[in-house]
């Protein structure tokens, strides 16, 4: 195996990150270590670029909203954490709303999301968003079909108003296979540190897979508009999905001194 390694590969393996992984992994392989080091290096470069983007948003009074949608255990939260890891915490917030209160249920559906939209110079990341009503709620019976239809009739106009008011909107959908979701659920249930994440909705997700798929297709057909298109991230490999999501954010926002070479797709 080692005779096929390039000088660049050897340098990566002998780096601090490479040596650390050799010591950490009980059953390591050379390709696995290389993939990890390349991922970590690329992530660091992209995170440095995100700091430039955030400074541009702040200096130009921009407003940015980024939605992270997808099936349960698709890796949305992990992608948000990597994206925001080195950003100035005073200039962004992550919104992951619990189920609505009785008071919120009596309001216009979009109202509680409007309350979390960014002020000038800020970025807001939604870990699930108003699109709960497009898929999760109807699949699990958390809304009526009438409420669902009203949402579907209003959502494109709602997003048009956001964009026309000066908000830059990015919509991600993290897509995983049924087998990958099942495997991740098992890992979550076995982990004492992650077990709290496994909800009653998660427990039914595999059984309701086809229902989720049907509503997801309807959501794309109706809301994948030219003004506010969906960006689908294939997320069976978490590291690749995180890199792609950050690259697409950097690609979408026209900040100053953008490193175009850095945001090109890359395999690792």
Rounded CA gap, 206 and 38, in Å?
Answer: 33
Neighbour tally for 194: CB within 10 Å: 13
- Confidence (pLDDT) at 97: 97
Q: What is the domain partition of the chain in residue ranges?
A: 61-252
Rounded CA gap, 208 and 110, in Å?
Answer: 26
- Confidence (pLDDT) at 27: 58
- Confidence (pLDDT) at 156: 98
Each residue of 81-96: pLDDT tens digit? 999 999 999 999 999 9
Q: Are 37 and 13 in contact (CB under 8 A)?
A: yes
Locate 71 and state its tokens.
């099936």
User: pLDDT under 70 in the chain at which residues?
Assistant: 1-3, 7-28, 30-31, 268
Rounded CA gap, 14 and 20, in Å?
Answer: 9
For residues 39, 231, 66 and 169, what is the CA-based torsion angle, rounded to 10 degrees?
A: 140
| CB contact burial 71-80 (16+ within 10 A = b; e otherwise) | bbbbbbebbb
Locate 248 and state its tokens.
């697409």
- Confidence (pLDDT) at 1: 47
Q: What is the mean pLDDT of the chain?
A: 92
- Confidence (pLDDT) at 267: 72
- Give the CATH superfamily of 61-252: P-loop containing nucleotide triphosphate hydrolases (3.40.50.300)
- Confidence (pLDDT) at 91: 97
Q: Are 233 and 265 in contact (CB under 8 A)?
A: no
pTM above 0.85, yes or no: yes
- Confidence (pLDDT) at 149: 98
Strand partners, 234: 175
């Amino acid at each position: 195996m080692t005779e096929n390694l390039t000088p660049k590969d050897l340098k990566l393996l002998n780096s601090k990150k490479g040596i650390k992984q050799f010591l950490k992994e009980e059953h390591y392989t050379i390709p696995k270590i290389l993939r990890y080091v390349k991922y970590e290096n690329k992530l660091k470069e992209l995170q440095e670029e995100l700091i430039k983007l955030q400074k541009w948003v702040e200096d130009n009074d921009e407003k940015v909203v980024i939605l992270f949608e997808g099936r349960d255990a698709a890796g949305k939260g992990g992608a948000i954490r990597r994206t925001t890891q080195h950003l100035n915490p005073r200039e962004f917030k992550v919104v992951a709303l619990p189920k609505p209160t009785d008071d919120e249920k009596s309001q216009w559906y979009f109202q509680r999301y409007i309350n979390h939209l960014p002020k000038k110079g800020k970025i807001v990341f939604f870990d699930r968003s108003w699109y709960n009503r497009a898929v999760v709620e109807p699949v699990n019976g958390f809304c009526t079909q009438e409420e669902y239809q009203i949402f579907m009739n209003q959502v494109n106009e709602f997003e048009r108003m956001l964009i026309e008011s000066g908000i830059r909107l990015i919509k991600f959908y993290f897509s995983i296979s049924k087998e990958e979701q099942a495997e991740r659920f098992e890992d979550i249930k076995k982990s004492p540190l992650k077990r709290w994440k496994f909800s009653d909705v998660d427990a039914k997700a595999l059984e309701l897979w086809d229902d989720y798929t049907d509503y997801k297709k309807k959501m794309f057909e109706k809301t994948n508009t030219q003004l506010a298109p969906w960006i689908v991230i294939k997320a069976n490999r978490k590291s690749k999905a995180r890199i792609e999501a950050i690259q697409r954010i950097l690609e979408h926002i026209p900040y100053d001194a953008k490193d175009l070479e850095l945001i090109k797709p890359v395999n690792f």
